Structure 1
């Protein structure tokens, strides 16, 4: 066989296999879709491998078409990047596009980590605020509840000895007579009668009745 006949024979043998391989490669390329959370670098490198295989089989893709195919295969989280890329009519080679996508992915991760920290700080502040509000609504202390509404004047007189001494329990004259009554075994009716008389005369201190 001559050289020409050998070439034609090889084409007939391997052309059918190349056509089938081109079909499978193009199908994998156009149906390739990036899932959320998958690394964009690995996804783009896989698609670049399909594009190079088609070029070797004699079906090369132009750079613009190859770029569109890769952008269409990205996940929804890269939609802002795709819109910005198309609006600004950016022209990049496939390796340059890969570098831009990796940079965008790293920025997205940084922003997501910051948002998570902000949410956690907001939850902590909300818990602290709830605790402070709970403490502010606590019941008043007993000491505050037992305080009289008005302050007692130091100029009030004892209803027993009629001297400047607010409380009957602090009156030495009254205490002395009580001790004498207890020592003699007599009742304190005389003391009570004196108290009643002072009450009728309007000399009884209202703070002394309960002391």
Structure 2
């Protein structure tokens, strides 16, 4: 009788472990759900796995949560209107500059003629603001001041 109960509880624990693992790996943030509630939900799955005797390493937990948050950020960036997000473009430009600064130069590619400003290694700059030219005068001689006498309209 005792052996049968042990087997029954072991099966139940295995099924609970399998279900918790499936829920943990298929957990996605629902639209409109707060990030904090999503992270707490993930933490609940992790606590259940530890209670069942299968602790999840910190690296795996952080990797799972960071990957989900990164996917959410990418989705948010795609939905931003392009003309209302100049700060986002500046952040990306600075990020690309920093990445290129820390990379080693590749003289072999430049010598072979393959690095001509195209592709992934290209630096991105924020566009310069356009300044409109001053309005043109109809008769510039009429409005100018004479350099000899200092009068206008000669």
What TM-score, normalized to structure 1? 0.32
Larger gyration radius, structure 1 or structure 2: 1
What TM-score, normalized to structure 2? 0.43
- Which structure shows the higher helix fraction? 1
